[in-house]
């Protein structure tokens, strides 16, 4: 049976060149990077070199890169760490209604602790309303978090414009550094600008599993002017922000994957846009009562999130799987939940239609023939499911 993987937003395979860089640190170079002896110093050197390489890509300083165990942990450290560190300055935080669960759940946790969270609306294409942001900024707002590119619908937010609004608010109110500005850029890496100076962010989340690097590794860019309360305490690793012996293999792999992603970014993004637009056009043509979710233009080059009325996305995903096609019904982090996607509800999709949504995300191994195979298989599946579905 043909195998077609179209769930690259959930995770990617490790690029062979990345794996080769990692291999020595699984067995031969195994010293504890905190040790003073040669074996430890060798590993510490590899970690610090990786940190510097990542910092170069982000136009940051090495000490501003903090390694974590995942994108989720980085988001948690940014949101919870900033809230705990600056709660004496204010307890108001602003996020979008379409944030990744790692940010949403952190915000909900803070609400239980007495923080006030403003959840900004987005328009039907998933874009922030900049005037609404201006409206809700207050002198006690300590943090704004806006996802760079949405993991479900692929909509890209105007991060630099948001940063400018926040900067002007600071100047007008003589607030120096508040509110802080965080963005989750996990899906953006390898496709969009990552220069933190151009973007104007104070905190930025990245991870390895979305860029053909290893799972279990992420990083948080933390501007040198900012202090965070650590979520994991112990031996004081990562500038005291993330205790625990660093995993050199994953860190080296993450750095190599990010360098490769940056190198291939323009060429691969152009290739994927052509395939994405071809696929979207033909799905909407072949499947009646279907619609694209997210912005038509301001979207990730590999993302196609499509709602199909009269059926359930879970059933579609399972039947596609029978044909060797891997797609998802939304975020892989919450795909086991039976509730409709909070992202789709936020852009105005009805719960019934949200349940009939599929996310196809393309990647380095995706070819036009793979998409043609899906286009051949999908319409009969939809027809069959509509006949037996209770959804009308």
Rounded Cα distance between 103 and 74, Å, is 10
Question: Residue written as tokens 């510490």?
Answer: 44
Q: Is 56 exposed, middle or buried (0-12, 13-18, 19+ CB in 10 A)?
A: middle
Is the separation of the CB atoms in 248 and 5 below 8 Å?
A: no
Q: Tell me the two tokens of residue 137.
A: 């900024």
Nearest Cα to Cα of residue 141 among 94, 80, 77, 202: 94
DSSP for 35-50, written as a single string: -SSHHHHHHHHHHHHH
Residue 309, C-beta contacts closer than 8 angstroms, at least 6 positions apart: 289, 290, 352, 353, 356, 391
Query: Cα separations (Å) of 146 from 82, 111, 128?
Result: 15, 18, 9
Phi-psi region of 352 (alpha: psi -120 to 50; beta: other; left: phi over 0): alpha
Is the separation of the CB atoms in 298 and 155 below 8 Å?
A: yes
Instruction: Answer yes or no: 333 catalytic.
Output: yes
Is the separation of the CB atoms in 136 and 118 below 8 Å?
A: yes
Rounded Cα distance between 4 and 317, Å, is 13
Q: Which of 186, 219, 326, 333 is catalytic?
A: 333
Rounded Cα distance between 40 and 279, Å, is 50
Nearest Cα to Cα of residue 187 among 55, 347, 295, 331: 331
Query: Cα separations (Å) of 354 from 288, 350, 360?
Result: 16, 6, 15
- Alpha helices (H) in 287-361, listed in sequence order: 313-322, 342-346, 351-355
Rounded Cα distance between 362 and 370, Å, is 10
Show which residues are catalytic.
333
């Amino acid at each position: 049976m043909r195998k077609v993987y179209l769930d690259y937003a959930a995770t990617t395979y490790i690029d062979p060149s990345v794996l080769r860089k990692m291999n020595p640190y699984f067995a031969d170079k195994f010293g504890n990077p905190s040790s003073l002896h040669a074996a430890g110093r060798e590993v510490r050197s590899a970690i610090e070199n990786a940190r510097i390489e990542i910092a170069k890509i982000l136009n940051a300083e090495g000490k501003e890169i903090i390694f974590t165990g995942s994108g989720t942990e980085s988001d948690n450290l940014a949101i919870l760490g900033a809230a705990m560190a600056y709660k004496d300055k204010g307890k108001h935080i602003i996020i979008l209604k379409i944030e990744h669960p790692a940010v949403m759940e952190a915000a909900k946790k803070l609400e239980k602790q007495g923080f006030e969270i403003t959840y900004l609306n987005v328009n039907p294409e998933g874009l922030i309303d900049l005037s609404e942001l201006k409206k809700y900024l207050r002198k006690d707002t300590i943090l704004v978090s806006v996802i760079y590119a949405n993991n479900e619908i692929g909509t890209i937010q105007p991060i630099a414009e948001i940063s400018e609004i926040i900067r002007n608010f600071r100047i007008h109110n003589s607030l120096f550094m508040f509110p802080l500005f965080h963005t989750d850029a996990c899906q953006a890496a390898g496709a969009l600008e990552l220069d933190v100076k151009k973007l104007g962010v104070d905190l930025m989340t990245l991870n390895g599993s979305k860029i053909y690097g290893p799972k279990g590794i992420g990083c948080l860019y933390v501007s040198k002017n900012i202090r965070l309360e650590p979520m994991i305490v112990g031996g004081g690793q990562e500038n005291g922000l993330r205790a625990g012996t660093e995993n050199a293999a994953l860190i080296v792999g993450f750095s190599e994957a990010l360098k490769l992603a940056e190198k291939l970014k323009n060429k691969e993004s152009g290739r994927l846009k052509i395939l994405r637009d071809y696929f979207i056009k033909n799905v909407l043509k072949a499947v009646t009562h279907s619609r694209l979710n997210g912005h038509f233009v301001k979207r990730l080059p590999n993302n196609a999130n499509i709602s199909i009325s009269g059926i359930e996305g879970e059933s579609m995903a399972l039947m596609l799987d029978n044909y060797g096609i891997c797609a998802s019904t939304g975020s892989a982090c919450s795909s086991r939940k039976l509730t409709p996607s909070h992202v789709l509800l936020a852009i105005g999709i009805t719960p019934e239609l949200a349940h009939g949504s599929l996310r196809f995300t393309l990647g380095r191994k995706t070819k036009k023939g793979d998409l043609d195979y899906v286009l051949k298989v999908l319409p009969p599946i939809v027809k069959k499911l509509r006949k037996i579905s209770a959804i009308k």
